[in-house]
Structure 1
Amino acid sequence: MSTLTRARRKLRAHPVAADAALAAGVLACMVAGSFAEPHGPEGIDWGVRTPDVLSLVLMTLAAAALAFRRRAPRTVLAVASGASVVESVTGDPRAPVAMCAVIALYTVAATTDRPTTWRIGLLTTTVLTGASMAAGPLPWYAQENLAIFAWTGIGATAGDAVRSRRAFVQAIRERAERAERTREEEARRRVAEERLRIARDLHDVVAHHIALVNVQAGVAAHVMDKRPDQAKEALAHVREASRSALGELRATVGLLRQSGDPEAPTEPAPGLDRLDELAGTFRSAGLPVEVARGDEGAGLPAAVDLAAYRIVQEALTNVRKHAGADARAEVSVVRVGPRIEITVLDDGAGQDQDHAPGGGHGLLGMRERVTALGGTLTTGPRYGGGFRVHAILPVTTRTSGARDGRP
């Protein structure tokens, strides 16, 4: 770090000391200038003249006022301008008291808005220049009078430029901080959405397969002594359901792997093409399921296909868990124009999902999936008993439309 940089930092840390040093330096320059004769035979002659007492008082008063320029810039400008006017009117203006007025005007312009700068700057320039031209001992067109006009204008312009630069830098800093906060909020939102999606997928996988395992394990325990063959068949279903659960869990957790981890499973996500296989797993668990399809040959976006499969899976799982041992289920998948409708009905006498102990997450997960795709979900008890799940999903989602080049 250079010496100049360290000095600037120290002065910024102690503004009062910096202003006092500035006032002392300006006073020294004014006193030195009062000994000079600008129109000597050889140009500027030093030591030819000496300042009078009034000039020294005015210089000291104006310089002392500069030490408070940050605290009361307009008051300091008034004092410096008054001293400069008095000097111009009362005597030979060899002591450049107007230098203090220029610095004070710069401070006012740097700490206020542009309209105020224009008003105060125009007023200060007019008063100082007019007093020097009208009441001073020199002709109105003298170089000293024109110099007062030029320097006051430069002071106001420089202060306004510094204020504009500070405002620009502050705006850039605020914009960067706002953008950083926006990025952090967006990152938190994406993390929350991803956690919700993973939790939803894990719930669908675990709830379905664990329900099947629980049912088949109960059957095996019930018939183990009297019908061992049926018990073996039930245990085989338990093993198959657990293997499927492990496979889907491995695929889901594989999405969380980092780049340096082993390769994640590449098995495609389940869709409606596996609907018959899904219904078969429930039939093997003792739940009669009838499937009606009216969408054969209709290609679906991956997100819609997965959501439809998960809705049917969760709805049948809820039937198996809550509808009772004698319940039957019907699954209907129909393509209606730009939408696909999934309906799952049961005739069970069990309790409503929303009021089951610990229940409600499955319906919530289905609703979140449907809402994310811009569809609608209707759930509720059927007239005469049973439960109904009806989902309408748009075939063309925003993601798939953008991928296919559609708006």
Structure 2
Amino acid sequence: MTGSLERYAQRHARVADALTAVASCVCTVFGARIGTSESAPPHALWPAWILVLSGVAVVASRSRPRAALVVTAAAAAVLTALGYLPSPLLLAPVMTALYWLAALTDARTVGVYGSATMTVLLATSLAGAPIGDDFTLRTVGTVLWLLLPVSLGSWSRLRRAYVESVQARAAHAERTREEEARLRVAEERMRIARELHDAVAHHMAVAHAQAGTAAHLADTHPEQTRRILTDLVGTTTAALLELRATVGVLRRTADPDADPLEPAPGLDRLPTLVAACASAGLTVTVDTEGQARPLSPGVDLTAYRIIQEALTNATKHASDHAARVRLRYDDARLFITVTNDGTTDGGPVPPVPGGGYGLMGMRERAHSVGGDLRAGPRPEGGFEVAAALPFQPRTPADAPAGRRHEETR
């Protein structure tokens, strides 16, 4: 019931204020008729303008609570000074103004205005009639009746502040959830883009090199051209199979009865990768230093993808059609270095356009397992990709600091 009245008052504020003003004036009239002290009867006719002022002040108490309280308190002071008892009916306009003051302002303002109102009304009430049997009503009663609307208004203010706080927290939580959802979507898009790039870019670069070489040798070396075209078919088939496998992983659900996934590629497939590069005309030399250590699946996949992308770049850009892969194991990390001696300055294979996303993907992969990667030109010429990966994945914050060159090719 109270909630319904509050909602109606909020939707129809002017109507509610007008009804409150009329009710306050009616209460004041009845309070004046019954609130007569036997020892000090009031004047036969009390000023009608007091009633008018009180009504107008009550109407404005929602928009101007301080001014409304001053006017209604002054009117009540006049009535009590004339000898009327400060009953709740007589004090209805003041109580209404006090309620709105407590509901709409801060506690300090309520304390100052409320104390002043009580002091004035107590003084005028005691001055308007001699001390008698109604002394308790004029003192304790006045204080209690004035404290009631202050308490109700303060409770209303605190309740409204609590509701607003809850709504603000809910809105903040909703914004946070939306931001987290957008962040997860962006991260997922980046992961999908990286997976698709890793699955397709190497095979497409090799196929591009094979097709360019075949076109260059078609007229002079038909047998070699046919062999290269056969290798090209194998390269594109491998690209389709890996793309299909990648899409299958991305679309896979958490179905316990689903078929097991094909193992992710790792360094055990490095000979196959070297052979594919050789079919595209890139000679790859692999050197291993130290005792090979078992790698976690994530680090093993990261190492393979970094070497794959580095050799893809070498296939597109190496002028001597040669690259070197160096794997060095120490007590805690695997160091990968892929180098070539320069970029093409002519030849049968046209350049493959790229935006540097491969290097960015390599860095992201290295950082995701707690490793580090740098890539850039070598002082003696050529290009170098160097990565340091832990045997077991770590958070990026635990990874050793290292230089990060932002060069892209």
Determine the structure 1 residue equivalent to 2:195. 201
The structure-2 alpha-carbon separation of the partners of 1:59 and 1:349, relative to structure 1 and needing over 3 Å to count, comes to: closer
Q: Structure 2: how far apart are the matches of 1:350 and 1:225? A: 23
Range moving further from structure 2, 245-254 or 107-116: 245-254
Give the counterpart of 1:386 among 382, 388, 392. Answer: 382
What is the TM-score of this pair, normalised by structure 2?
0.83
2:293 paired residue number:
298
Overall identity of the aligned pairs, in %? 42
Larger RCO (CA within 8 A; separation ≥ 6): 2
Aligned mates of 2:3, 2:21 — CA distance in 1 = 20
Distance 2:94 2:218 in 1: 106
How far the C-alpha of 1:228 sits from its partner, in A, is 5.3
Distance 2:176 2:99 in 1: 38
- 2:174 is the counterpart of 1:180: yes
Q: Which amino acid aligns with 1:84?
A: A
Determine if contact 1:333/1:341 at 8 Å carries over to the other structure.
yes
Contact 1:31 1:56 in 2 (8 A): no
Could you tell me which of 52, 55, 64 is aligned with 1:63?
A: 55
CA distance in 2 between partners of 1:38 and 1:21 (Å) = 27
Change (3 A) 1:291 1:38: farther
Alpha-carbon spacing, 1:266–1:384, altered in 2? closer, same or farther (3 Å): same
Is contact 1:327–1:349 with CA below 8 Å preserved after alignment? no
Answer whether contact 1:254 1:265 (CA < 8 A) is retained.
no
Matches of 1:189 and 1:159, distance apart in 2: 44
The alpha carbon displacement at 1:154 in A equals 1.7
Write the deviation string for residues 51-100 of structure 1: whole angstroms up to 9, x where unpaired: 94316543342132100011110000001111111111112327743221
CA 216–382 in structure 1, closer or farther in 2 if over 3 Å, else same: same
Matched residue SS, 1:245? helix
Supply the AA of the counterpart residue of 2:371.
G
Q: CA deviation at 1:236?
A: 3.0
1:331 matched residue in structure 2: 325
Equivalent-residue separation in structure 1 for 2:149 and 2:2 (angstroms): 28
Which residue of structure 2 lines up, in the alignment, with residue 97 of structure 1?
Answer: 90
Taking structure 1 as reference, are residues 229 and 264 closer, same or farther at Cα in structure 2, changes over 3 Å only? farther
Q: How far off is 1:399 after superposition?
A: 6.1
Is contact 2:21–2:55 with CA below 8 Å preserved after alignment?
A: yes
AA paired with 1:284?
A: S
Q: How do residues 205-220 of structure 1 correspond to structure 2 at under 5 angstroms?
A: 205-220=199-214
Question: CA shift at 1:366, angstroms?
Answer: 1.8
2:294 alignment partner, SS class = coil
Q: What SS class does the counterpart of residue 142 from structure 1 fall into?
A: helix
1:338–1:155 CA distance, 2 compared to 1 (3 A) = farther
Residues 234/161 of structure 1: CA separation in 2 closer, same or farther (3 Å cut)? same
Rounded Cα–Cα distance in structure 1 between residues aligned with 2:128 and 2:328: 99
How many residue pairs were aligned?
388
TM-score (norm 1): 0.83
**Contact kept? 1:377, 1:391, Cα under 8 Å:** yes
Letter in 1 for 2:309: E
Task: Tell whether the 8 Å contact from 1:129 to 1:145 is kept in structure 2 after alignment.
Answer: yes
Unaligned runs of 5+ in 2: 346-350, 399-409
Offset at 1:156? 1.4
Query: CA–CA distance in 1 between the matches of 2:68 and 2:2?
Result: 31
Deviation at 1:102, TM superposition (A): 1.5
Whichever residue aligns with residue 26 of structure 2, its letter is A
Residue identity matched to 2:126: M
Question: Aligned residue for 2:30?
Answer: 32
CA RMSD of superposed structures (Å): 3.4
